[in-house]
């Protein structure tokens, strides 16, 4: 049935091409994302951490709204935000040379500048905007930055200290004012939308992409935003039959904790009548196993191997910093996105290490398990670095270090090779690649590269990042030192980009279907477990989705066409537009506020410090225009990669 596969692929590719664009959204998408009146959202204040570190530094929408608040209310606050943005651009600049020198020069000019011209500025505001920085910090920073403008490759960390102090300043009085403003109420409205229930009607489903351990994996699209994801189904009866409830919940909880561009992210978790559903990052480029054995059967060149190994190392570093051990590193678990960046996927065997205590368990894939796992000994993060060694070896040599592809050999023999045999290196390996693999594939974990430093779990990655394979150039292989800061920001161009018109998955009919599970009944205990699983949106991925698909820019308006504060931020709660058109009766809030002069109106919606009169046009008020939301959205994308 070739026609069925062609149709499925065509529909899927068309959806992919429209993902995140207007044509990918439902015609009723704005109905799905309607803000309630801000008073409905006030209880959320008790559920979130009211701190700068959480709302501004960790919440993408919180950061954009805080910057809008600063721009609209105080020129000094605004220039602090501008300074932050410029430093972030400088540290992650694509060009280590002229571009970074130009940015350094711009930052120096900003440090010398006074608040922007503003008729309402007080005399105090006319002082230099960074007066909260000591003269010593400013002079040292300017001196270092001035010299950087003449360096061939300026250092990336010269503004670290003033950046930190600027964050400390904004976290005090500016943040307190933000929490009392309409911008914070708008943040609560976004959080209210984020916390709404999620079900199967939230998505459109497309072709099956593959199989997981407990069900199919298919492509899906969010109706409201048009964003494409991968939907991993865990069939309820199959999970119960295999007693895998704890395993499934563990994977979901770990995915929910991780927010890394180098690990597949969880965006939604919900349930249907028959399945538990994980909505994950869609990786359209296929897995490394497919590319290694179908497209490049002789192995990759070292430049490409270095790129993949560096991004995998960053992914493991993030997992280890969260005390999470991955335990299943192999080519089929490394996925490529549309642009050629890679992510670690399938965290089904991942486990949290508590108090850095070694754990025990024979889990993993034959040929990739470390010797200590094979010998059933206790282990920690070193088993993941062994996996990196296996992966680098296989990418260069074109085969795994302890087993030939399709070799018919018993598990016991492979495990013996892992315990006893020394891997062999061909002329494909440069000296740096050879020493890296030997260090990672050391039989004794105490001498293994990534395990020699005693300290934080993530220190193992720092040891590997310092290896010459990542930090020296090689004219023969074309390898260059890895610009780690830019790589962390996703600004390093991948050496290979997947074909956007290709579907890197088996034909629909070639994907084996699951058999029906018989003899299993679901009861009240199961329902209780499903409640732990069915948690809806995951905060940071959902907010990033709203920004990337421009839903935030289109909906984040504060004033209507007449210049009056929108009804859902007004104390009286009257929708003037509907009143004008005669399409609605006075609402609940309108009647409520007409009957009583409630004190909460004054205490929670006091805009005097903003100079805002809700009844006056925005030309006479200090408030953001619609375009400022879009501009902030665009700049926010870069700083939140």
Q: With 80 as the cut, is the pLDDT of residue 69 above it?
A: yes
Let me know if domain 35-194+628-639 sits in CATH 1.10.167.10: yes
Q: What is the mean pLDDT of residues 273-296?
A: 92
Ligand-binding site membership of 241 (annotated): yes
CA angle 341, 342, 345 (to 5 degrees): 150
pLDDT-based confidence at 20, cuts 50/70/90? Answer: low
Model pLDDT, residue 11? 82
Distance CA 403, CA 409 (A): 8
Q: Which of 135, 132, 147, 169 is nearest to 100 (CA)?
A: 147
Active site residues: 328
pLDDT-based confidence at 588, cuts 50/70/90? Answer: low
**Listed range (64-68, 113-117, 567-571, 607-611) with the worst mean pLDDT:** 607-611
pLDDT-based confidence at 509, cuts 50/70/90? Answer: low
Tokens 């109706």, located at residue: 223
Number of C-beta neighbours around residue 495 at 10 A:
15
* pTM metric for this prediction: 0.81
Model pLDDT, residue 501? 83
Q: Which residues sit opposite 210 in a β-bridge?
A: 217
- Fold assignment, 2-21+197-284+511-537: Phosphorylase Kinase; domain 1 (3.30.200)
Tell me: the pLDDT tens digits for 460-504? Answer: 899 999 999 999 999 898 899 998 988 998 989 999 999 888 887
Q: With 70 as the cut, is the pLDDT of residue 357 above it?
A: yes
Model pLDDT, residue 109? 80
CA angle 525, 528, 531 (to 5 degrees): 155
Chain centroid, CA 75 distance in Å: 31
Radius of gyration of the chain (CA): 27
Tell me: the pLDDT tens digits for 95-140? Answer: 666 777 788 888 878 777 766 544 444 544 445 677 787 888 878 8
CATH of 288-499, one of 3.40.1280.10, 3.40.50.10710, 1.20.120.1760, 1.10.510.10: 1.10.510.10
Model pLDDT, residue 579? 56
Spatial strand order of the sheet with 536-537 comes to 203-211, 216-222, 228-235, 275-281, 266-271, 536-537
Domain borders along the chain are: 2-21+197-284+511-537, 35-194+628-639, 288-499, 559-622
Q: What is the mean pLDDT of residues 263-283?
A: 94
Distance CA 109, CA 103 (A): 10
**Listed range (155-159, 188-192, 195-199) with the worst mean pLDDT:** 155-159
Tell me: the pLDDT tens digits for 512-564? Answer: 666 667 778 888 888 888 888 899 999 999 999 999 999 999 999 999 888 89
């Amino acid at each position: 049935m070739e026609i069925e596969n062609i149709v499925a692929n065509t529909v899927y590719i068309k959806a992919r091409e429209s993902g995140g664009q207007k044509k990918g959204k439902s015609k009723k998408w704005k109905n799905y994302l309607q803000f309630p009146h801000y008073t409905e959202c006030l209880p959320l204040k008790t559920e979130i951490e009211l701190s700068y570190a959480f709302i501004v530094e960790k919440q993408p929408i919180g950061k954009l709204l805080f910057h809008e608040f600063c721009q609209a209310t105080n020129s000094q606050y605004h220039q602090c935000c501008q300074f932050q943005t410029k430093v972030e651009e400088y540290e992650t600049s694509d060009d280590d040379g002229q571009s970074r020198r130009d940015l350094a020069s711009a930052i120096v000019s900003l440090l010398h500048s006074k608040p922007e011209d503003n008729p309402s500025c007080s005399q105090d505001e006319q002082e230099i905007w960074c007066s909260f920085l000591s003269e010593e910090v400013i002079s040292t920073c300017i001196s270092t930055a001035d010299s950087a403008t003449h360096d061939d490759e300026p250092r990336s960390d010269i503004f670290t200290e003033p950046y930190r102090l600027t964050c400390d300043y904004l976290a005090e009085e500016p943040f307190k004012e933000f929490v009392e403003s309409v911008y914070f109420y708008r943040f609560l409205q976004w959080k209210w939308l984020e916390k709404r229930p999620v079900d199967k009607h939230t998505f459109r489903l497309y072709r099956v992409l593959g199989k997981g351990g407990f069900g199919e994996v298919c492509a899906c699209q969010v109706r409201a935003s048009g964003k494409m994801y991968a939907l991993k189904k865990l069939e309820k009866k199959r999970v119960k039959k295999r007693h895998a409830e704890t395993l499934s919940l563990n994977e979901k909880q770990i995915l929910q904790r991780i927010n890394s561009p180098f690990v597949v992210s969880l965006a939604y978790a919900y349930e249907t009548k028959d399945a538990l559903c994980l909505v994950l990052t869609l990786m359209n480029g296929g897995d490394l196993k497919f590319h290694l054995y179908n497209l490049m059967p002789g192995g990759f060149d070292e430049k490409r191997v270095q790129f993949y190994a560096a991004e995998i190392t960053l992914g493991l570093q993030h997992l280890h910093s969260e005390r999470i051990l991955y335990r299943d590193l192999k080519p089929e678990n490394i996925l490529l996105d549309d642009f050629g960046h890679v992510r670690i996927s399938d965290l089904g065997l991942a486990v949290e290490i508590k108090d850095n205590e070694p754990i025990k368990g024979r889990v993993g894939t034959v040929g990739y398990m470390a010797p200590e796992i094979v010998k059933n000994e206790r282990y920690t993060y070193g088993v993941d670095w062994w996996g990196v060694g296996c992966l680098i070896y296989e990418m260069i040599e074109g085969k795994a270090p302890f087993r030939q592809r399709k070799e018919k050999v018993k598990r016991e023999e492979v495990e013996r090779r892992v315990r006893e045999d020394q891997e062999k290196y061909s002329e494909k390996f440069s000296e740096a690649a050879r020493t890296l693999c030997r260090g990672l594939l050391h039989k004794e974990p105490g001498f293994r590269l990534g395990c020699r430093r005693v300290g934080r779990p993530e220190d193992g990655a720092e040891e590997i990042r310092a290896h010459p394979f990542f930090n020296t150039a090689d004219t023969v292989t074309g390898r260059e030192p890895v610009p780690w800061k830019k790589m962390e920001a996703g600004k390093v161009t991948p050496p290979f980009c997947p074909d956007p018109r290709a579907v890197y998955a088996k034909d629909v009919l070639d994907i084996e279907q699951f058999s029906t599970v018989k003899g299993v009944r679901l009861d009240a205990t199961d329902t209780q477990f499903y409640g732990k699983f069915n948690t809806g949106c995951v905060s940071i991925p959902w907010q990033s989705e709203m920004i990337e698909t421009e839903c935030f820019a289109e909906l984040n308006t504060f004033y209507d066409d007449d210049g009056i504060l929108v009804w859902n931020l007004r104390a009286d709660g009257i929708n003037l537009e509907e009143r004008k058109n005669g399409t609605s009766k006075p609402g609940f809030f309108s009647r409520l506020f007409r009957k009583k002069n409630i004190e909460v109106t004054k205490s929670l919606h006091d805009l005097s410090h903003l100079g805002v009169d809700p009844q006056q046009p925005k030309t006479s008020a200090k408030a953001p225009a619609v375009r400022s939301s879009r501009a902030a959205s665009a700049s926010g994308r870069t700083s939140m990669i």
